[in-house]
Amino acid sequence: MEPLWTEIDHVAIAVRDLDAAAAWYERAFGARVVHREVVERDGVAEALLAVADSYVQLLTPTRDDSPVARFLATRGEGLHHVGYRVADCAAALAAVRAQGGRVIDEAPRPGSRGTTVAFVHPSAAFGTLIELVEDPAA
């Protein structure tokens, strides 16, 4: 079959201080923040650093009960999830489920920057939290 993914959309890193982390990437890699957004539903603020056609997504919680806040409390800063860019989020989600993948989102939902996303649980994905990302602008 044709691959369902087309690109690594982003690598997401949970941090305590978004501005400090973004500034470090700017200094260390000459990286550029191309997008910032607060996603209230998920309780996160993000800064996207462009890497060719992909991104490093720095994430920090906006409230104490958000999943990223719990992640920081239990695991500390570090790699949080990998976003795979797909042409059709619903089709990719169905394909993952057909392979026994446990999903967090039962149906695709709005993500940041106008994307449509769905998360796959790490317990059925060899330990990695996966985000399926359909980006109409890509």
- Choose the binding region for Co ion from 12-20, 27-35, 64-72, 100-108 (rule: CB under 5 A): 12-20
Backbone angles phi, psi at 26, to 5 degrees: -65, -45
Stretch near Co ion under the rule CB under 5 A, chosen from 16-24, 77-85, 95-103, 119-127 = 77-85
Residues 6+ apart with CB under 8 A from 113: 35, 37, 48, 135, 137
- Could you tell me the smallest distance in angstroms from the CB atom of residue 37 to Co ion? 11
Window of 65-73, 83-91, 92-100, 122-130 that interacts with Co ion by CB under 5 A: 83-91
Contacts of residue 1, Cβ cutoff 8 Å, sequence gap at least 6:
none
Show the tokens assigned to 64.
């104490």
User: How many whole angstroms separate alpha carbon 54 and alpha carbon 11?
Assistant: 8
Select from 18, 69, 108, 131 the one that contacts Co ion (CB under 5 A).
Answer: 131
Q: How far apart are CA 117 and CA 102, in angstroms?
A: 15
Q: Is residue 130 part of the contact set for Co ion (CB under 5 A)?
A: no
- Closest CB 55 distance from Co ion, rounded Å: 9
- Can you read off the two tokens belonging to residue 51? 């890497």
120 is an interface residue for Co ion by CB under 5 A: no
Of 4, 12, 49, 68, the residue at the interface with Co ion (CB under 5 A) is: 12
Q: Is 9 in the site for Co ion (CB under 5 A)?
A: no
| CB proximity list for 76: less than 8 A, separation 6 or greater | none
Work out which of 21, 61, 69, 83 binds Co ion, going by CB under 5 A. Answer: 83
Cβ-contact 118, 71 below 8 angstroms: no
List residues near Co ion by CB under 5 A: 12, 83, 131
